[in-house]
């Protein structure tokens, strides 16, 4: 009887593996082939403008990138962009989630309007902000400045990185709101009422009940947003093209410059490897942070 059971389990396991094998193989090929080609090109002299100069370059591409001030400027811009967008979306999303949890007239319509920017394509939202909101002559912000007697601001010339941060934060704030609003709806109303009966005010309820309850949801928001924010490209390409100078060039846009403007595939591949390493370091840190919050 035991042999029959063991045989049945073995056959069932082999059948499940045979069914899973094509999907797993395709997924591995989908991931490993591009990664392998990127690694291979990163050690090659491969510039499309100079086809005669080819061959094994060793660590020359990495040495060139690591000694290039543009890389460190791009990494600094990437960290500033990710950090400020996370601060704005997490803080703003938390406050908006608390606000939209309250009863008020037109709450359903307000929720839909607040979440809708997340469904706008990045290219479209960047064009809207560039031509309708932040235009120094015809934009809404310029009109408001003139209304109060203030000079109009040429956002993309004088405050380029701040402009990108505003655009990206406007896109991702609804995502944070959606996750945090869903989490806050699971908060036990009896716990809140008990705290109020004990004399706790709105601020105390927020800091000692609501905020600890949202701890896990905030960790998830930070993890998901950071993974996507490391690859911001369309907003920069449409608005500033990485300028003025390198003021808004992040790591993703620097790789684009090396690959598709300078046609230096080898250096661009080395930049891609550096980006992969950076993304994995961030991912490991975030996964541990989320796992720690889930365990607690």
What is the secondary structure of 15-72 as a DSSP string? Answer: HHHHHHHHHHHHHHHHHHHHHHHHHHHHTEEEBTT-TTSEEE-TTHHHHHHHT-HHHH
Residues 149 and 218 in one domain: yes
Spatial CA neighbour of 90 closest among 3, 183, 188, 200: 183
- Tens digits of residue pLDDT in 234-259: 999 999 999 898 999 999 999 999 99
C-beta of residue 245 within 8 angstroms of C-beta of residue 74: no
Task: Determine, yes or no, domain membership for 221.
Answer: yes
- Inform me whether the pLDDT recorded for 126 exceeds 70: yes
pTM, rounded to two decimals: 0.87
State the pLDDT at residue 55.
84
Identify the residue whose tokens are 């992969």: 276
Q: Give the pLDDT band of residue 280 (cuts 50, 70, 90).
A: confident
My answer on whether 38 and 62 are in the same domain is no
- Rounded to 10 degrees, the C-alpha dihedral 49/54/58/59 comes to -10
More confident residue, 192 or 273: 273
For residues 242 and 249, is the Cβ–Cβ distance under 8 A?
Answer: yes
Whether residue 124 sits in one domain with residue 24: no
Query: pLDDT tens digit string along 32-73?
Result: 888 889 899 999 888 888 877 778 888 899 999 999 999 999
Considering its fold, how many domains does the chain have in total?
2
The answer to whether residue 47 is domain-embedded is: no
Mean pLDDT computed over 81-105: 92
Q: Are residues 34 and 96 in the same domain?
A: no
* Domain assignment present for 89: yes
- CATH number of the domain where residue 270 is located: 1.10.3720.10
Residues 37 and 85 in one domain: no
- Domain check: are 93 and 148 in the same one? yes
Mean pLDDT computed over 270-286? 86
The model's pLDDT over 19-37, given as tens digits with 9 standing for 90+, comes to 777 888 888 888 888 888 9
**Token pair of 208, please?**
């000692």
pLDDT tens for residues 197-247? 878 788 888 888 888 888 888 988 988 898 899 889 999 999 999 989 899
Least confident of 15-19, 168-172, 178-182: 15-19
220 belongs to a structural domain: yes
Q: What pLDDT band is residue 9 in, cutting at 50, 70 and 90?
A: low
Domain that holds residue 126: 58-295
Q: Are both 8 and 69 inside the same structural domain? A: no
Question: Percent of the chain, pLDDT > 90?
Answer: 41
Residue 25: per-residue pLDDT: 85
């Amino acid at each position: 009887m035991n042999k029959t059971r063991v045989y049945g389990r073995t056959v069932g396991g082999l059948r499940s593996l045979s069914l899973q094998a094509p999907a797993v193989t395709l997924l591995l090929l989908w991931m490993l082939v591009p990664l392998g080609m990127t690694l291979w090109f990163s050690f090659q002299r491969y510039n499309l403008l100079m086809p005669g100069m080819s061959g094994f370059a060793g660590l020359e591409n990495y040495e060139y990138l690591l000694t290039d001030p543009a890389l460190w400027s791009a990494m600094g811009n990437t960290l500033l962009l990710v950090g400020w967008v996370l601060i704005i979306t997490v803080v703003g999303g938390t406050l908006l989630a608390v606000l939209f949890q309250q009863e008020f007239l037109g709450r359903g319509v307000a929720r839909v309007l607040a979440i809708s920017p997340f469904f706008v394509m990045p290219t479209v939202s960047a064009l809207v902000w560039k031509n309708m909101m932040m235009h120094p002559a015809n934009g809404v912000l310029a009109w408001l400045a003139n209304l109060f007697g203030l000079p109009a601001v040429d956002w993309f010339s004088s405050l380029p990185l701040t402009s990108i941060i505003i655009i990206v934060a406007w896109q991702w704030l609804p995502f944070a709101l959606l996750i945090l609003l869903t989490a806050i709806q699971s908060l036990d109303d009896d716990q809140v009422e008990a705290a109020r009966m004990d004399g706790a005010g709105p601020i105390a309820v927020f800091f000692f009940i609501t905020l600890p309850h949202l701890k896990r949801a905030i960790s998830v928001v930070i993890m998901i947003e950071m993974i996507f924010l490391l690859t911001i490209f369309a907003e920069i390409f449409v608005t500033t093209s990485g300028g003025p100078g390198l003021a808004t060039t992040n790591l993703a846009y620097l790789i684009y410059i090396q690959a598709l403007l300078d046609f230096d595939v080898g250096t661009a591949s080395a930049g891609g490897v550096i980006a992969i390493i950076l993304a994995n370091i961030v991912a490991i840190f975030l996964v541990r942070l989320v796992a720690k919050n889930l365990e607690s």
